[in-house]
Each structure stands twice: as C-alpha cells, then as structure tokens.
Amino acid sequence: MPPLFTRLLAERLNSQSRLAVQEAEPGKTLEPGRVWIARGDHHLTVARKGAHIVLNLNQEPPENFCRPAVDVLFRSVAEVYGPSTLAIVMTGMGSDGARGVAHIREAGGEIFVQDEPSSVVWGMPGAIVGAGMADKICPLPEISQEIIRRVQTGRTRISAISATVQA
C-alpha cells in the first residue's frame, strides 16, 4: 500500500466514523476511541512500554509481498495481549494474516473472519478458514455485534482495533 493511499484511507474513515482514525505514528500510546491505520510502506507493530502499549513502525522486508503486512502486526499483538486478543480478518487479497493468526491461536486468542458471500475478495479470510484457524465466520453486518458481545461478556478486552487493507 502506498503512503498516499493509507493517508487518504485514514482521512476517509475518520470523516465517516465516530472514532478518531489516523495513520499510525511511532511511539503513540494506544488509547480507547482511537483507530490506527498502518502507514503505507511500513509494518505496524505494538509493544509494551511500562504500563502502556505503544505503536512502532518499521520498513523490514515485505511479508506475503506486502508492507504493511498484517502477519507482522498479529505477531506483535499476540505477544502483547496473549489470550485477550481477538483478531478480525475481513475482505482482502492474498493470504496475509494466515501465519499471524497462528501466533494468536498459540497465545490463546480468538480469530473471526468475514464470510465469503459478504467479502469483496475472500483471499485473506479464506486462507484462514482453509488453514482451520477461524473460530467464527461472520457476515459483515454481524462482525461488530460479535465484537460487542465478546467485550460485554468479558471474554475480550478491546485495546486497539486495526485494519489492514490489501489494494
């Protein structure tokens, strides 16, 4: 994803959402009510820094022919949040995310994917289903309800929501 695309995506989502959406900035602390988009041509990771979780960006080699790659993000999320992780993989080309969710599963987290009929491209969620890693397959309109249900029942703490869009 080129930098211009991610900047425009963040601006568009910010204009359409009740939550503040912006491109990730290194060293920023995760906080409720804020959505971070990986910057174009940069992998996004999270790390524990004292009592806070902070964002990091890097330009390490592409994974799955992608930079940013969601596998990179998912590995760091699994390390930081362990069993409290809930990964949501939605429409997208390729198989990015399939290896990262294995780390989330090993850490005790859960993985939801968007179903094929509601996906524009079922590559990413389909790869996870094909690997037997999806805990739940949801139509797009049900994903937000599932997240809310998990938070309300105390099964998941939402500290950050991230999205990787494959162009």
pLDDT digit string (tens) for 74-109? 999 999 999 999 999 999 999 999 999 999 999 999
Domain boundaries defined on the chain = 3-163
pLDDT at 69: 97
With 70 as the cut, is the pLDDT of residue 110 above it?
yes
CB-based burial of residue 41 (10 Å sphere; 0-12 exposed, 13-18 middle, 19+ buried)? middle
This prediction has a pTM of 0.89
Reported as a pLDDT band with limits 50, 70 and 90, residue 166 is very low
**What is the residue-averaged pLDDT of the chain?**
91
Alpha-helical (H) ranges within 1-139 are: 3-16, 70-81, 98-106, 123-130
- Average pLDDT rounded to a whole number, residues 29-52: 95
d(CA 86, CA 106): 13
Helix (H/G/I), strand (E/B), else coil: 150: helix
Residues 6+ apart with CB under 8 A from 149: none
Reported as a pLDDT band with limits 50, 70 and 90, residue 155 is low
Q: Which amino acid is at 123?
A: G
Q: Where would I find the beta strands (DSSP E) of the chain? A: 20-23, 34-37, 43-49, 52-58, 86-89, 110-114, 136-138, 162-163
With 70 as the cut, is the pLDDT of residue 54 above it?
yes
CATH number of this structure's domain 3-163, picked from the four choices 3.40.50.180, 3.40.50.300, 1.10.3720.10, 3.30.230.10 = 3.40.50.180
